[in-house]
Amino acid sequence: MDFKLKNIPSQKGRIAVVTGANNGIGFETTKALANYGFKVIMACRSKVKAEKAKVEILNTVPTADLDILQLDLSDLDSVRVFAQNCKDNYVKLDVLINNAGVLIYSGKKNGAGIELQFATNHLGHFLLTNLLIDLMPDDTASRIVALSSLAHKSAKIHFDDLNGENIDDAEAVYGQSKLANLMFADELNRRLKKTGKKIIALAVHPGGSDSGLFDEMSRVKYYTFKMLSPFILNSNTSAAKPSLFAALSPNVQGGEYFGPQGFNEFKGKVGFAKRSEYSRREDVAQKLWQLSEEMTEQSFL
SS (H, E, C) 207-268: CCECCCCCCCCCHHHHHHHHHHHHHHCECHHHHCHHHHHHHHCCCCCCCCEEEECCHHHCCC
pLDDT score of 217 = 52
Radius of gyration of the chain (CA): 18
pTM for this one? 0.92
**SS3 state of residue 69:** strand
Report how many domains make up the chain: 1
Is 1 among the domain residues? no
CB within 8 Å of 65: residues ≥ 6 apart:
34, 37, 38, 39, 40
Domain extent at residue 286: 12-296
Residue 56, pLDDT > 90, answer yes
Is 2 among the domain residues? no
Is 301 among the domain residues? no
Is 4 among the domain residues? no
pLDDT-above-90 percentage for the chain:
80
Is 268 among the domain residues? yes
pLDDT score of 246 = 97
Contact by Cβ (8 Å): 101, 121: yes
Contact by Cβ (8 Å): 173, 115: yes
- Using CA atoms, how far residue 141 sits from 8, 41, 251, 268, in Å, is 13, 18, 11, 25
Burial of 170 (0-12, 13-18, 19+ CB in 10 A): middle
Residue 222, pLDDT > 80, answer no
**pLDDT mean over 155-173:** 91
Alpha helices in 21-139 (DSSP H): 24-35, 47-60, 76-89, 116-117, 124-132
User: How many CB atoms are located within 10 Å of the residue 153 CB?
Assistant: 20
User: How many CB atoms are located within 10 Å of the residue 248 CB?
Assistant: 24
CATH of the domain at 30: 3.40.50.720
For residue range 189-209, list pLDDT tens digits in order: 999 999 999 999 999 999 876
Is 198 among the domain residues? yes
Residue 215, pLDDT > 80, answer no
pLDDT score of 229 = 54
Is 232 among the domain residues? yes
Contact by Cβ (8 Å): 43, 21: yes
pLDDT score of 265 = 87
What amino acid positions are annotated as catalytic residues?
174
Is 242 among the domain residues? yes
- Quote the longest CA-to-CA distance of the chain: 52
Question: Cα–Cα distance between 27 and 13 in angstroms, integer?
Answer: 20
Contact by Cβ (8 Å): 265, 150: yes
How is residue 136 annotated by DSSP? S
